[in-house]
Amino acid sequence: MSIIETRKLTRIYGTLVAVDGLTLSIEPGEIFGLLGPNGAGKSTTIKMLTSLLPPTSGQARVAGYDLASPRDRARLRSVIGYVPQLISVDGALTGYENLLIFARLYDIPRRESIDRVRAMLDFMGLGEAADTLVRKYSGGMIRRLEIAQALLHHPHVLFLDEPTVGLDPVARKTVWERIEELRALYKTTILLTTHYMEEADHLCDRVAIMHLGKVVVTGTPAELKASIGKDATLDDVFAHYTGESLASGGDYRDTRRTRHAARRLG
């Protein structure tokens, strides 16, 4: 049984169709990537699947919960984790304090929360920096702390929106390693968006390429590359199905937003 399933999921803003009839099925324990140029509908999709944004029409179920049901939406939030693009930790607090606040938000008993916070900091490679103010963290450390926040309550599904934006290659590789360990240790289902084709190729069991609000193709990275031709890369696949290159995607506002996020992440 699929852990995430959508049928004709749609979100409209005025005259703009941000997500247009999205139909997806994601299996438990899968790392699934949503790829696409800026404005393709990736972040809007995640916001709907995390119950932060109501669909205009269509159906979606996540971890057995129906997003059309207010009661199910409330329950859903206890079994999912979400790491947004923008920074979501407090730089004036330590890593330990940031996680402890989230543990309280998740209603984790105090005695248990202390052990769980320490264990999660160690798992994410932040144990030695637990009592350091987050404003002194590197970009990669901040991203790992944000993932730790989203994992404190042991969610069934983790949503990662551009998890390595603005990170250098070494920090990006460290985040990849933690994501792979998560799936291996906890069988966590992970849905991520990314602009890095190397990241999608390395991490994802399957990917879907979105363009103008629609999914234009879905498959394993190997299947999609083979569909283009011998020695094709995911960059070639992206350009083939969207008619765009990653280097030229996005407008001034998109570029400013991405660089602002990168600057804040160090």
DSSP code per residue over 96-133: HHHHHHHHHHTT--HHHHHHHHHHHHHHTT-GGGTTSB
Strand, helix or coil for residue 178: helix
- In this structure, what DSSP letter does residue 245 have? -
Checking if the pLDDT of 253 tops 80, the result is no
**Residue pointed to by tokens 């994992």:** 151
Q: Contact 246/195 with Cβ under 8 angstroms?
A: yes
CATH number for position 23: 3.40.50.300
Interval 142-201: pLDDT, tens: 999 999 999 999 999 999 999 998 888 998 999 999 999 989 988 999 999 998 999 999
- Which of 27, 41, 11 shows the shortest CA–CA distance to 215? 41
Task: Over range 231-239, report the average pLDDT.
Answer: 93
pTM of the model: 0.88
Determine the residue type at 172. Answer: R
Q: Contact 164/171 with Cβ under 8 angstroms?
A: yes
Strand, helix or coil for residue 158: strand
Dihedral of CA 235/180/3/48: which sign? negative
User: Which residues have a Cβ under 8 Å from the Cβ of 121 and sit 6 or more positions away?
Assistant: 95, 96, 99, 127, 129, 130, 148
Query: pLDDT value at position 21?
Result: 97
Checking if the pLDDT of 135 tops 50, the result is yes
Strand, helix or coil for residue 217: strand
Look up the domain containing 234 and give its range.
4-84+92-264
Measured CA to CA in angstroms, residue 252 lies from 6, 19, 40, 44, 216 at distances of 32, 22, 16, 20, 25
Averaged pLDDT score across all residues of the chain = 90
- Residue 230's Cβ-side half-sphere holds a number of Cα atoms within 13 Å equal to 0
Query: pLDDT value at position 249?
Result: 41
Q: How many domains does the chain have?
A: 1
Checking if the pLDDT of 1 tops 90, the result is no
Query: pLDDT value at position 167?
Result: 86
Q: How confident is the model at residue 55 (pLDDT cuts 50, 70, 90)?
A: very high
Measured CA to CA in angstroms, residue 56 lies from 4, 24, 71, 97, 208 at distances of 18, 17, 18, 38, 21
Q: How far apart are CA 110 and CA 94, in angstroms?
A: 18
Report how far Cα 70 is from the mean position of its chain's Cα atoms: 23
**Residue pointed to by tokens 């944004």:** 53
Interval 11-24: pLDDT, tens: 999 999 999 999 99
Q: Contact 1/217 with Cβ under 8 angstroms?
A: no
